[in-house]
């Protein structure tokens, strides 16, 4: 009897699993808010230099272009009163002496009453600090993946998850009360770390407590929760135009998650592998009781557990490291291919999702559109994952995403609708790719190093999200170069995904030896 059979013995997808999935899904609704929050809290409003004297806020005291619009970063050294005369002939504006905005800026507050841009003047010479803040947050997500990935394999999934809920609540709330841009970045970094811990441990607990036949459905449900979270973010940001209140509203709910998370059960599968079968039996008894299978659960004891999982218990080591991810041939192939997949998916995804203002349409509307495309994309992906296979779905979504992005190179800039449609299609394919790769990674890595593998994958994803805004800067030299890079990366990784083993209807592996022998048995050849 394998662990999957033991799980079916105590109820399979019963009341416990349903309640567990719901409680783990609630925090996921708000996860998207933190990941994409800077689209709104760091939105760049129209701005121009503050005037010398307090007569009014007329833009004509500032440098103007050919259309007589305010120049954002410079002003005339001397007052140009003639510009106030609508009948005057305006010539040689470029010859007038100008200077940087020494007295600050005037911002358009018709959409956002306050953002980190308006509060700390992150415009003109300081405009790159906006991208730096997002990169710092993503660096926190990267650090969290490394730290919490290792801690979860060593100390279990439950304790790090509870801690991450508390860290998200405290640091997210502290961000709303930041007195300086430096403090803001520090708290955002810590929030990003908590984000990684919540995602990795939540997915692992779900996968390890869910029967094989329903794993794809449960993970896809979490994907839809993230999608709904994007709708929630657009609505909340529209209702709360002040960045501090918006930050606070999306952070406080994690205090509630922290409180109820103490009810969570540690992964019995991990407890067995960690050499704690007595605790695993207690958790299985608890699950059986909640699933109204008490009699079946009472038949389980340490002897039964050990007799049916001798191989897994015997192969368990006291600790595992990142070296174990590349120590053996099959795991080495899996790790390299997944690194490509995670990096390019995140790289292209954030290249599109964090650039909403450049679409030239209402930012709240484009957020809703970008969120809505996830529904059909993820629905199709779960069908193909469940009936065709994980490998096919992973490769297809990445290649289609890359082709959609590359197609925008040939579309003129003035065709904004078509460009937006192609970007939305690309984003939908990348969302489907994320939906697939989370489940695929959990199924490919064995229990003993599953969190470590997810930590490595998360690291590659965050490297992609950190590099994405830097690549965007290349358009100053060649306008279409970022699109070439954003499009080529998922196509290459889609090809790499075809070298991964298929996991459709395959039991979760518990040991490294299982992963190695499965591919040998399926191919009939031994890798050297």
- In terms of domains, do 159 and 203 share one? yes
CA dihedral (449, 203, 368, 493) in degrees, to 10, reads 30
* First-to-last C-alpha distance (Å) of the chain: 32
- d(CA 246, CA 233) in angstroms, rounded, equals 9
* Dist CA 384 CA 278 (whole Å): 39
Domain boundary among 315, 344, 362: 315
Is 116 among the domain residues?
A: no
Assigned domain for 53 exists: yes
- 251 & 361 share domain: no
Q: Are residues 526 and 418 in the same domain?
A: yes
51/31 same-domain check: no
The strand pair at 47-49 and 62-64 is best described as unpaired
Rounded Cα distance between 422 and 426, Å, is: 6
Q: How far is CA 403 from CA 47, 146, 182, 341, 484, in A?
A: 37, 32, 39, 16, 10
Tell me the pTM. 0.74
Q: How big is the CA angle at 509 (ends 508 and 513), to the nearest 5 degrees?
A: 170
Q: Are residues 329 and 453 in the same domain?
A: yes
121 in a structural domain: no
In this structure, the answer to whether residues 35 and 58 fall within a common structural domain is no
Domain of residue 278, CATH code: 1.20.1250.20
Do 68 and 131 lie in one domain? The reply is no
Query: For residue 115, is it within any domain?
Result: no
Q: Check residue 63 and give its pLDDT.
A: 45
282 phi, psi to nearest 5 deg:
-60, -45
Question: Among residues 282, 315, 348, which one ends one of the domains?
Answer: 315
Last residue of a domain, one of 107, 137, 154: 107
Same structural domain for residues 261 and 408? no
Q: Are residues 258 and 387 in the same domain?
A: no
pLDDT (tens place) for every residue of the chain, 528 residues total: 566 667 777 767 778 888 888 888 888 888 877 878 888 888 777 776 776 554 444 444 454 444 556 677 766 665 555 555 555 555 555 555 666 677 777 777 778 888 888 888 777 777 778 778 888 888 888 888 778 877 887 788 888 999 999 999 999 999 999 999 999 999 999 999 999 888 888 878 887 888 777 777 787 787 788 888 888 888 888 889 898 999 999 999 999 999 998 888 888 777 877 777 778 778 888 888 887 777 766 677 777 776 666 655 665 555 677 787 888 888 899 999 999 999 999 999 888 876 665 666 677 887 788 878 888 888 888 889 888 889 999 999 999 999 998 988 888 777 777 888 888 899 899 989 988 898 899 889 887 788 788 778 878 888 888 888 778 777 767 777 888 999 999 999 999 999 999 888 888 787 888 888 876 655 544 443
pLDDT of residue 59: 41
The answer to whether residue 183 is domain-embedded is yes
Whole-number Cα distances in Å, 521 to 231, 312, 524: 46, 19, 5
Query: Do residues 35 and 51 both lie within one domain?
Result: no
> Nearest CA to 469 among 193, 192, 196, 138?
138
Asked whether residue 13 is domain-assigned, the answer is yes
458 found inside a domain: yes
232 and 89 in a common domain? no
Whether 451 and 150 have beta carbons less than 8 Å apart is answered as yes
Domain span at 178: 1-40+127-315
Instruction: Enumerate residues 6+ apart whose C-beta is below 8 A from 136.
Output: 185, 188, 189, 192
Domain match, 470 and 332 both: yes
* Residue 119, in any domain of the structure: no
Query: Count of domains in the chain?
Result: 3
Cβ contacts of residue 125 below 8 Å, gap of 6+?
73, 100
pLDDT score recorded for residue 41: 84
């Amino acid at each position: 009897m394998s662990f999957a059979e033991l799980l079916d013995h105590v109820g399979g997808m019963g009341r416990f699993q349903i309640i567990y999935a719901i409680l783990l899904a609630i925090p996921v609704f708000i996860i998207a808010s933190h990941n994409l929050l800077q689209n709104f809290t760091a939105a760049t409003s129209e701005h121009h230099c503050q005037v010398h004297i307090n007569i009014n806020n007329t833009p004509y005291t500032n440098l103007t272009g050919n259309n007589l619009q305010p120049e954002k970063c410079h002003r005339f050294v001397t007052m140009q009163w003639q510009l106030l005369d609508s009948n005057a002939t305006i010539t040689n504006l470029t010859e007038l002496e100008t200077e940087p905005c020494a007295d600050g800026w005037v911002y358009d507050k018709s959409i956002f009453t306050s953002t980190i841009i308006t509060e700390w003047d992150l415009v003109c010479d300081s405009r790159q600090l906006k991208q730096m803040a997002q990169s710092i947050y993503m660096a926190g997500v990267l650090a969290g993946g490394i730290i919490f990935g290792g801690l979860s394999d060593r100390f279990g999934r439950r304790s790090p998850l509870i801690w991450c809920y508390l860290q998200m609540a405290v640091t997210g709330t502290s961000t709303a009360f930041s007195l300086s841009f430096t403090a803001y970045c520090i708290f955002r970094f810590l929030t990003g770390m908590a984000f990684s811990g919540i995602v990795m441990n939540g997915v692992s607990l779900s996968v390890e407590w869910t029967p094989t036949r329903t794993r794809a459905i449960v993970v896809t449900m979490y994907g839809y929760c993230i999608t709904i979270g994007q709708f929630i973010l657009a609505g909340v940001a529209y209702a709360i135009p002040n960045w501090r209140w918006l930050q606070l509203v999306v952070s406080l709910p994690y205090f509630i998650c922290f409180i109820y998370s103490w009810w969570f059960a540690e992964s019995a599968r991990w407890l067995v592998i960690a050499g704690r079968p007595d605790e695993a039996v207690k958790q299985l008894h608890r699950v059986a009781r909640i699933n109204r299978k008490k009699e079946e659960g009472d038949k389980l004891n340490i002897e039964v557990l050990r007799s049916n999982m001798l191989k897994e218990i015997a192969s368990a080591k006291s600790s595992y490291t990142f070296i174990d991810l590349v120590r053996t041939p099959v795991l080495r192939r899996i790790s390299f291919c997944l690194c490509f997949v995670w990096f390019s998916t995140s790289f292209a995804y954030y290249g599109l999702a964090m650039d909403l203002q450049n679409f030239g349409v209402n930012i709240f509307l484009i957020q809703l559109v970008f969120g809505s495309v996830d529904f059909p994309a993820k629905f199709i992906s779960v069908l193909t994952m469940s009936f065709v296979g994980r490998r096919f779905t992973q490769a297809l979504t990445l290649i289609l995403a890359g082709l959609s992005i590359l197609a925008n190179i040939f579309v003129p800039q003035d065709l904004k609708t078509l460009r937006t449609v192609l970007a939305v299609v690309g984003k939908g394919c990348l969302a489907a790719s994320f939906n697939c790769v989370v489940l695929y990674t959990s199924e490919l890595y064995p229990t003993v190093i599953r969190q470590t593998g997810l930590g490595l994958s998360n690291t590659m994803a965050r490297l992609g999200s950190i590099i994405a805004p830097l690549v965007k800067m290349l358009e100053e030299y060649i306008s279409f170069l970022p699109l070439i890079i954003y499009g080529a990366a998922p196509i290459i990784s889609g090809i790499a995904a075809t070298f991964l083993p298929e996991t459709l209807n395959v039991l979760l592996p518990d040991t490294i030896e299982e992963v190695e022998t499965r591919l040998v048995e399926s191919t009939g050849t031994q890798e050297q």
